[in-house]
Amino acid sequence: MLKNIPSVISPELMSTLMRMGHGDEIVLADGNFPAESCAHRLVRADGHGVVELLDAIMRFFPLDWFVDHPASVMQPVNESAIDPPIWTEYRRVLAHHEGREVELRPIERFRFYDFAKSAYAIVATGETAIYANLILKKGVVIGHEN
């Protein structure tokens, strides 16, 4: 065990996050998402929700500041539907860790699947909220001079 690593982050997930490079994307998929059939690399996080994983991941994961949309969500099929409540939680967690508001870009369902198929990895969670799928684009860690 290591100190200060949230227990929801498995060794496999930490390894995946560390192996990702600038511009790589990771999908945090809800329990209904076809993760097995879409993933090049699949990380299981059964029993965990996306919000708790997002909060843990964002302690280590820099979002890409060089793109307009470093965070994307699956748009509800009914485009006139209100934003799913879980999106409010995503915005709160992302703003907390990034020190700025992060816009969530809605992506049509089948286009979202295409994005997910090209992602570096998909994390399959036990999330039961609808439209809880989230794609994050990794940014860079800027070194500090001593």
Tell me if residue 113 is catalytic: yes
Q: Which two tokens stand for residue 64?
A: 């890409």
Alpha carbon distance 128, 142 (integer Å) = 36
Which is it for the CA torsion 4, 124, 139, 109, positive or negative? Answer: negative
Catalytic residue among 64, 90, 97, 120: 64
Tell me if residue 120 is catalytic: no
Catalytic residue among 22, 40, 96, 114: 22
b/e map of 80-115 (b: 16 or more CB within 10 Å)? Answer: eeeebebbebbbebbeebbeeebebebbeeeebbeb
Catalytic residue among 24, 69, 83, 113: 113
Tell me if residue 144 is catalytic: no
Residues labelled catalytic: 22, 64, 113
